[in-house]
Copies of this chain bind each other. A is one copy, B any other.
């Protein structure tokens, strides 16, 4: 069951918001649980993905892209550097800034992660109908748009 007041769910945006909060909370819990024990955490994977998508960038840019505060990103990057997946270098033009980029190992892991068809979520998605997958594909785009909203 998705909501405490099922009838509202079909008519009210506020109820949809409530249902979505619960749904997102639960799926996140499950994804983090499944991710436990893997080589990178969900947060690290998200950062890795952003670096892969946008290429070498400053830590501040990466924090903004990931919508976290700089101190949080400092910690995430430190973990990735420790794992050999990301490298830091000084910005030759501005000594205050730190440039981050994927190492070859980081790029390999990112691609392996994308291609990991045996992953829990991939398996579950394969059990869905094409229509349901299309819904999730569109929902993912909307979520990212909402998350990026000012």
A positions within 8 Å CB-CB of B? 1-5, 8-9, 13-31, 33, 42-43, 45-46, 49, 52-53, 66-68, 110, 113-117, 119, 121-122, 124-126, 128, 132-133, 135-144, 146-149
Contact = CB atoms under 8 A, between A and B. Distances in A.
B14 A117 contact: yes
- Tallying the copies of this chain within the complex gives 2
A137 B28 contact: no
A52 B146 CA distance: 28
A63 B117 CA distance: 30
Nearest to A20: B140
Contacts of A27: 24, 143-144, 146-147
A147 B23 CA distance: 8
Contact of A20 (B19, B22, B121): B121
- Counting chain B CB atoms within 10 Å of each CB, the highest count among A14, A124, A133 belongs to A14
B133 A16 contact: yes
A2 B113 CA distance: 15
A52 B128 CA distance: 30
A53 B115 CA distance: 39
Contacts of A20: 121, 125, 136, 140
A68 B53 CA distance: 34
A127 to B, nearest CB: 9
